[in-house]
Chain A
């Protein structure tokens, strides 16, 4: 029999607990780039979204704004090694690092941890279309595939498609090399990335972490990823809350990304950085939706987060997907203190970037001491106070849920 030496106090957490603060925000969406541009547009009452309804008809999307990649990716050689998704993510990560005063600081970059929420990169649409066209007159499709792929694929395209190569490119371009992890799994990956990064800081494992994701919707495969289950909204654009019963599945996608620099409070203070907000509890879950558990799961997560009393500005990453968004609305509506703002009405759904984006908008509101006007006046009520705590929610269009509280620093 092995004898057990009892720990001093098993209930005591093994590591000391540190506050997590947000010191850098990088944002890109159809609205523009950076926290200021987003704040300006999102606080403009009745602001109209930037839409592209022709290029992917019958689907409407929110396109990327004009971006000068050189501003964050200095080497053209690096830019050429990536497709738009990785370029976008690398660019947004650079914005966040710049904002936190970390970019170009070797010591801070080489000790910085990174958790990226990623899907996959762009395939070569022309090669794929050629193979599909040829498949109509060939029965030996596997041989056709070998013929075409061995001769037509660009060797480096594979690297532009690999999920973990967004993080890889961030390491190469911005020299973030403490550690590099890529989480996959749509919106849930973004939730887990923030949750894990925060847990690392709280436990003393990390002092500063780059966390976020990007989504490039202007590619047929990125639309196909939703449409294989009929998730995309068709017909005229409508705000997120107004899409029930419309043609299609309710999701309007957008290109964009969000990266955050999360930092241990003492670390941020010791280098004299501006703190946007404190990141409070982040909780996540996996409702078994086929068993009808989603409403109860969202309600349970709200309870776990220990919401403060009084009016609470709530930044929702609702996708518009009919079932998920109806469930989220029902649960949020049942909490009359919540003043909800669904930003995807104005940006479109950015998949893995949804939760980091929600946290960023929440942090901005806390920092600027003001809420956002309703993004959809028919469904979102007034919020007049100074938000000292803001809730950020993300309910996946198909699976996984999470939320977090962002508090005044």
Chain B
């Protein structure tokens, strides 16, 4: 007999559909095959010239029709593609989903291609004055909509028939996890019996790359792109900017069982804690990350000894991997040295707003397939970080409970606990 309510009397939330797009491909099957064979999706940048750039590699999604059309169209297409896969797998009507939408997506700005074309369509005045004058004469809404923060979710709401005002959110690199958390909470509060949570990010533009470069956040190991992302290695030198999307159909276990849906996993708990130390660096004692992990465990009603595997944030920046190790070793104590912990980002790079959702999707598949994807490029371990990172090769293992970490600029820390089976 499955309990339908959790340890706090709330409806248990199941996952009944999963979709994913990364630089490794479209869909779960292709992604999982690549991920478990240790294949990297990191490749030289071809979308724009790399003159003057210190970083010339990325995990961009270059194979979709919108890949060259700008951040908003690509983010939409990846969100739609992943959501379609998830909703189909759940066996729900993909034009009449009937639950709320939570979308994690990058902040939007007018693309440079549009700025250039607007500006050069006229000769009068200069700078902003010219742009504004040209703008107000536009007859189409296409460019306008790429600058509205709610427009991607609005289109997705139309496309999938989601209910109500869709929520678009950003908690930086934790956004995907927050989108899932919002869905879980809405179901637990009884506001709905299903929710569509999506993280999507197609914002790897030249300007985004340059901005992260100026903050010294990106790897500059350009020569062998597939070796650049090396979480927990001694010679890690930054993350690799990437694109992707992950989508989950969340459903109350009760509703999912009642309609005979296949239960792909359980969202056991979510935890968060903001850091007040610095805009890009974590508090040196890692206390906010520690608090976020502990909050997720408490919310899930799961003890430290019940976590079988950690899907790490593992960005491959010197700072993150050190702090993540500190937080995990504080929470899990000596056991940490023998717990498998791997970073999907070693293969797909950092998909930013999508990362939490993409990695939740892979965490669920890890449990279902009993295979842990490796941390690749682990050739030169950091002696200060003693972890079982599932180095370089996948591992067969029974995994019943996973912790997935997401940490972001602006002091964002969000952790998810997922389980294979209802309790």
Chain B stretch 30-83: residues in CB contact (< 8 A) with chain A: 48-53
Q: Across the interface, which residues of B come within 8 angstroms of A18, CB to CB?
A: none
Determine which of B136, B137, B164 lies in contact with A285 in the assembled complex, contact meaning CB atoms within 8 Å: B164
Residue in A14, A186, A192 whose CB lies within 8 Å of B189: A14
Output the least CB separation between B92 and chain A (Å): 19
* Given contact pairs A228-B144, A284-B165, A4 touches B189 in the complex (Cβ within 8 A): no
Q: Is the CB of A220 within 8 A of B132?
A: yes
Give a binary string over B269-303; 1 marks a CB under 8 Å from any A CB, 0 the rest: 00011111111100000001000000000000000
Whole-angstrom distance from the CB of A135 to the nearest CB of chain B?
5
Among the listed stretches B166-174, B224-232, B359-367, which one makes contact with chain A, having 4 or more residues with CB under 8 Å of it?
Answer: B166-174
Pairwise interchain contact A14-B190, C-beta atoms closer than 8 A: yes
Do B126 and A133 have beta carbons less than 8 Å apart?
yes
B191 contact set on A, CB distance < 8 A: 199
Residues of chain B with a CB closer than 8 A to A93's CB: none
* A136-B169 CB under 8 A given contacts A184-B149, A199-B191: no
Within 8 A of A (CB), among B82-130: 105, 107-110, 112, 115-116, 119-120, 126-130
**Which residues of B are found within 8 Å of A59, using beta-carbon distances?**
132
Q: Is A146 in contact with B51, judged by CB distance below 8 angstroms? A: yes
Partner of A203, one of B109, B116, B189, B273: B189
Binds B, one of A167-175, A272-280, A323-331: A167-175
A-side binding surface: helix, strand, loop or mixed? mixed
A153 within 8 A of B: yes
Complex contacts, A146 vs chain B, CB 8 Å = 48-53, 206, 210
Please tell me the number of chain B residues within 8 Å of chain A, measured between CB atoms: 89
A227: contacting residue among B51, B132, B151, CB under 8 A: B132
Complex Cα gap A228–B141 (Å): 7
Who on chain B is nearest to A129 by CB?
B127
CB distance from B410 to the nearest CB of A (A): 3
Assembled-state Cα–Cα distance A3/B1 (Å)? 5
A120 engages B49 (CB within 8 Å): no
Interface-facing stretch out of B153-161, B309-317, B318-326: B153-161
Contact A135 B120 (CB under 8 A): yes
1/0 per position for A178-207, CB-CB distance to B under 8 A?
Answer: 111111111011011000100110010100
> Residue A15 at the B interface, CB < 8 A?
yes
A400 contacts B279, C-beta separation under 8 Å = no
**Interface-facing stretch out of B4-12, B243-251, B375-383:** B4-12
Chain A's closest residue to B162 (CB) is: A286
B296 to A: closest C-beta gap in Å: 12
Q: For residue B46, give the distance in angstroms from its CB to the closest CB of chain A.
A: 12
> Hey, which chain A residues are within 8 Å of B408, CB to CB?
164
Residue A307 CB within 8 A of the other chain = no
Whole-angstrom distance between the Cβ of A350 and the nearest chain B Cβ = 15
Complex: A133 Cα to B206 Cα, angstroms: 19
Q: Point out the residues of chain A lying under 8 angstroms from B52, CB to CB.
A: 143, 146-147, 150
B388 in contact (CB, < 8 A):
no
Task: Report whether B149 and A14 are in contact in the complex, using a CB–CB cutoff of 8 Å.
Answer: no
Of A5-13, A23-31, A311-319, A383-391, the segment with at least 4 beta carbons within 8 Å of chain B is A5-13
Question: Is the pair A120, B110 in contact by a Cβ cutoff of 8 Å?
Answer: no
Given contacts A120-B109, A178-B274, A182-B169, contact A132 B119 (CB under 8 A): yes
- A149–B149 CB distance below 8 A: no
Q: Are A225 and B214 in contact (CB-based, < 8 A)?
A: no
What sequence of 0s and 1s flags, for each residue 249-278 of chain B, a beta carbon within 8 Å of any chain A beta carbon? 000001001100000000000001111111
User: Is B279's CB under 8 angstroms from A165's CB?
Assistant: yes
Bound complex: CA A291 to CA B158 (Å): 11
A200 vs B210: C-alpha distance when bound (angstroms): 38
Give A5 to B11 CA distance when docked, in angstroms. Answer: 12
Alpha-carbon distance A9/B110, docked complex (angstroms):
51
Interchain CA distance A136-B118 in the complex, whole Å: 11
Identify the closest chain B residue to A123 (Cβ). Answer: B109
Is there an interface contact between A228 and B135, defined as CB atoms closer than 8 Å?
yes
B257 cross-chain contacts in A, Cβ below 8 A:
2, 4
What separation, in Å, do the CA atoms of A338 and B269 have in the docked complex? 44
Nearest-Cβ distance from residue A336 to partner chain B, whole angstroms: 28
Query: Could you mark each residue 139-155 of chain A with 1 if its beta carbon is under 8 Å from any beta carbon of chain B, else 0?
Result: 01111011101100101
Min Cβ gap A176→B in Å is 7
* Interchain CB contact under 8 A, B128 and A125: yes
Cβ–Cβ < 8 Å partners of B395 in chain A: none
Contact of A188 among B112, B165, B288 (CB under 8 A): B165
Subset of 19 A-B contacts with CB under 8 Å: A2-B2, A3-B1, A59-B132, A142-B206, A145-B207, A146-B206, A150-B214, A158-B212, A159-B409, A171-B275, A176-B276, A177-B274, A180-B411, A181-B169, A185-B167, A192-B165, A220-B129, A221-B128, A228-B147
Q: Contacts A128-B128, A129-B127 given; 4 further ones with Cβ under 8 A?
A: A150-B52, A158-B211, A220-B129, A230-B137
